[in-house]
A and B are shown apart, each in its own frame.
Chain A
Amino acid sequence: MAILGALPLAFVGLFSYFPQLDLYLSGLSQGDFLRVILSPLSRLAALNSLTQALLSATLAVLVGYPGGLIMARYRFPLKGAFQATAIVPFMLPTVVVATAFTATYGPAGLLGKALPWLSFMADGFTGIIAVNVFYNAPLVMFLVASSIERVDPELLHAASIFGGNRLHYIRRFLLPQTVSGAATGFLFTFLYSFMAFAVPLIVGGPRNFTLEVQIYTLFKQYLDFRGAAALALVQLAGLGAASYFYLSRTIAAAERTPASTGSAFTQEGLSLRRRRASTLSVLMYMAPVGFFLFAPIVGLALESLSGREGWSFDSYARLASTIVTTRLGIPLQSIVFNTVFFAAITSALAVSLGLISAYLTLRVFRSGRKYELFLFLPMMFSPVTTAFALYVALESQPPFNLIWPLIIASHVLVALPLTVRFLSNSLSKVPSELIEAASVSGSSRADALFRVELPLTWAGFVAAGAFAFATSLGEFAATNFLVTPEYTTMTVAVYQLLGLRMTQEAYALSTLLVLASFAIFAVAFRLQEELSLG
């Protein structure tokens, strides 16, 4: 156990703590900290970050929560497709999302032209919040869904005793279970929005600059490297302390909510057809939220098809042509291969390390939350400094001089907190009676984990893998810093195409990225459905 538990620690130690501390602690003085803390711009940035993060997290939970309940509770046509669509925003490059929002809701946009009042979603502070919710509400949905207890179908029939009083059932059993999912969703949305860089700048404009922007500005434009390092450490300390508090109080308490077979509830999924009232309320939710998540993606696809001379598939034809790939310097299939390769390895590593961590945090360690925090902190460093630190510390050491292992490491560091939370969230909902029963019957812990616990947590497992995959597909900042031409990914290529002024081709490639990942996720969720039922 100890050896296994050391694996995730070794990973984040090697790829995050060692390089970062090496970089940050060289030559920092008290004066640097005082200087950045006292600067009015830093304080304004911190205030901006905090406001955007709190509002985005609250709204993302409000929008995503009912979706999570529906996703876990009901079976409906095209459910896999809905889930796959919902995860797509998570991996879209920010400039693409910003353009998609402008193209959809902006004053000259597809919907904005007819409904000018919608333009609040495309610009300014309200635009930032809308885009943050677009990115994160699906995450909340999946976290809530994966936190709902999964029980063996045979136990299910015992649950019919609740048939008479559904409200009682919902209040007494369903809602308490979902608190950990909603709380985790709030935490991630808060962290992602607090540390956002491109969305506040592109959508919100320069007055909405966040702490992350200020760190970057100090680093790149003021060339004040020690000031940037000091401010990054201040941000890390603040977010780290807040996250620890939150993890050890709110989330730990929520995960302690006793799971019991008494609250047994279907994993089979209720068919919507039988209950007209539920159908209506589900539709009333699904229609606007589905539209909110889907419209910008349609906007993006339309953008790739609308040339100055009307509609056409020309941008796709050009994308496939040798003229474009010669100008990129790397064939399209290599770009796709790199992207999928990085995402697959990232997903496998993040889920394996995440499973070890989640299991140990929940079942073995006393101070599990400190362990978890240790895995959380790396995502609170900005991706660019993570990449820079990796480069400085490891670039000259084989095999890391090949660069691509560093790219994967940077992706895993960002994905790991998500997979740990997803898995911990759903593992904590396995009824303790079942685990005890397994140990009484003489199974080893590992046997119980693989035979009893994992089959009951497929939803969390698949969602963890899918989000790790999506994180890798969409990662831009660290990849772009580390990448050498032969390891170009699709997200990086989107920016390169924009740089070459092949704007439409850039949107076409983004649309292909959406379609490809949609296909992968749809298959994954379909499989999950099969596995849960079988």
Chain B
Amino acid sequence: MRGWRLALLMVGILLIASVTGFYFISGGPRGGESSLTIYTYGSLFKYGDDPNATYAAVFGAFERQYNVNITVRYFSDAGDIIPALLSERNSPKADLVIGLTSVLAAKAKQENLLQPYAPPSLSKVPTYLVNDLDPDHYVVPYEYGLIAIDIDGSYINESAYPSIGSLSYEDLRAPALASSLLVENPATSSVGQDFLLSQIVFYQQVLKSDWKPWWRSVRDYVKVVPGWDDAFGIFSSANTNYHMVVSFGTDPAYSAYFNYTMYRTVVPQHNGTMYGWLQIEGMGIVNNAPHADTAKAFEEWMLSDVVQNLIPLNEWVYPAVSTVQLPDVYKFAIDPSKVSILNNLVPTSQLAQNLPQWLEEWQSIMAGS
């Protein structure tokens, strides 16, 4: 009898261990002989009708064509990729990184994590996109989106706000509008960071004035949340008093395609001109990548018509290659060619250099100073 219950406990632990073992055997080993490892953000090509089919069309097709085995490692967002690359600096596991924005690209360059490469099809990408991301081609663009503001027209419309169609940053300073606005926190969110950058560049370069008073006027009214998911969740909830949210210029196309509630989407204006900010997404070859040649071929594949055509309905942003025919629903989206692009006014390297100080100033303003 003695100790038999202890034995029972041990059996229990063994049982758990074996169930665990079974689960992982049935899961099957992954990786192994792969010859191209890609690091990217969690939602790459996941916004379409059928992300598994898109995966097959992007990665599966390349695997067959080049007879390679691709491992895609998803990170919750692109910001996590740089520290992962840093920790593997001495023996890189990744060959290619997809999804770096200009600020992340500058950091990756500064840490010497990437090697420059210009795929042949980069010639089909507008020069300003290439230069706004990285003129030295350590990171090259494959897509870009436009930061915009979604407005729920059933609450905020011309009857109460006649100038809503030509909304400006100055209009947003009014407490009535500011208290309806949801903004992503630039200290935690990449969309929030892009919105802050666009507001700073607009005030500094277009209005030639200080960017900080705007935030001081709105800080007691706007709702600042950690990420886009949180912001849009609150915005589209039934019982909310926030009816404007910082989001993307392609949102109306997305709503139309999936038959979701249509919101009105605007880019802030000044003297009749829309001033917008592009979130340019790029890819780069890892320094000392084990399979750099395959990675280079994949960069070219990302700029091929096949993959570029998948971007509008699966990423819901614009393909970098300008000759790609856009789907019909894109007529609802804001056309970036009609927007004055703020990214072009300041070199990326300068933005990346100033960002820490701007963030610190922003945090201090919001904390009440």
Contact = CB atoms under 8 A, between A and B. Distances in A.
The finding on whether chains A and B are genuine partners in a shared complex, rather than unrelated, reads: yes
Interface of A: 23, 40-41, 44, 95, 98-99, 102-103, 106-110, 197-198, 201-202, 205-207, 209, 213, 216-217, 219-225, 299, 303, 306-308, 326-329, 341, 345, 348-349, 352, 388, 391-392, 396, 398-399, 401-402, 404-405, 408, 444, 446-447, 449-451, 480-481, 484-486, 495-496, 498-501, 503, 506
B364 interface: yes
B66 interface: no
A207 B366 CA distance: 5
Contacts of A220: 79-80, 188
B29 A501 contact: no
A484 B83 CA distance: 18
Interface string B247-288: 000000011001011000000000000000000000000000
Interface in B47-62: 47-52, 55
Contact of B24 (A206, A213, A402): A402
B187 interface: yes
Given A107-B241, A205-B224, A99 B187 contact: no
B59 to A, nearest CB: 12
Contact of B236 (A207, A396, A501): A501
B350 interface: no
Contacts of A495: 229
B84 interface: yes
B360 A345 contact: no
The size class of the interface chain B forms with chain A is 35 or more
A498 to B, nearest CB: 4
Contacts of A352: 9, 12-13
Given A216-B188, A225-B86, 6 more contacts: A198-B226, A202-B230, A217-B187, A221-B355, A221-B359, A308-B261
A106 B232 contact: no
A9 to B, nearest CB: 16
Nearest to A403: B30
A244 B335 CA distance: 59
A65 B23 CA distance: 41
A399 B24 contact: yes
A405 B24 contact: yes
Nearest to A353: B13
A209 B363 CA distance: 9
Contact of A206 (B1, B46, B367): B367
A404 B23 contact: yes
B241 A402 contact: no
A503 B367 contact: no
B188 A201 contact: yes
A225 B24 CA distance: 33
Given A206-B363, A447-B3, A501-B236, A404 B47 contact: no
Contact of A219 (B76, B83, B239, B355): B83
Given A103-B237, A352-B12, A485-B74, A201 B24 contact: no
A102 B234 contact: yes
Contacts of B226: 197-198, 201-202
B102 interface: no
Interface of B: 1-3, 5-6, 9, 12-13, 16, 19-20, 23-24, 27, 29-31, 42-43, 46-52, 55, 73-76, 79-80, 82-84, 86-88, 93, 103-104, 107, 185-188, 193, 219, 223-226, 228-230, 232-234, 236-241, 254-255, 258, 260-261, 355-356, 359-360, 363-364, 366-368
B366 A446 contact: no
Most buried by A among B2, B219, B234, B366: B234
B199 to A, nearest CB: 15
A223 B107 contact: yes
Given A217-B359, A221-B186, A102 B240 contact: yes
A202 B185 CA distance: 9
B359 A306 contact: no
B169 to A, nearest CB: 19
Given A205-B224, A396-B93, A106 B239 contact: yes
Contacts of B23: 341, 404
B87 A23 contact: yes
What is the predominant secondary structure among interface residues of chain A facing chain B?
helix
A398 B29 contact: yes
Contact of B187 (A106, A109, A221): A221
A217 B224 CA distance: 15
A95 B24 contact: no
Given A99-B233, A110-B239, A202-B225, A348 B12 contact: yes
Given A225-B86, A345-B20, A95 B239 contact: no
A202 B232 CA distance: 12
Contacts of A216: 187-188
Contacts of B50: 326-327, 329
B82 A206 contact: no
A206 B224 contact: yes
A352 B119 CA distance: 55
Contacts of B356: 222, 224
A496 B76 CA distance: 11
Contacts of A225: 83, 86
A41 B3 contact: no
A352 B12 CA distance: 9
B230 A213 contact: no
Contacts of B31: 401
A40 B87 CA distance: 29
A496 B233 CA distance: 11
Contacts of A485: 74
Complex A-B, nearest 3 residue pairs according to Cβ-Cβ distance, in ascending order? A450-B5, A206-B366, A217-B187
B35 to A, nearest CB: 16
B232 A207 contact: no
Contacts of B3: 444, 446-447
A352 B320 CA distance: 54
B360 A41 contact: yes
16 contacts: A106-B241, A198-B230, A201-B185, A206-B224, A206-B363, A207-B219, A219-B79, A220-B79, A220-B80, A221-B355, A326-B49, A345-B19, A352-B9, A401-B29, A408-B20, A444-B2
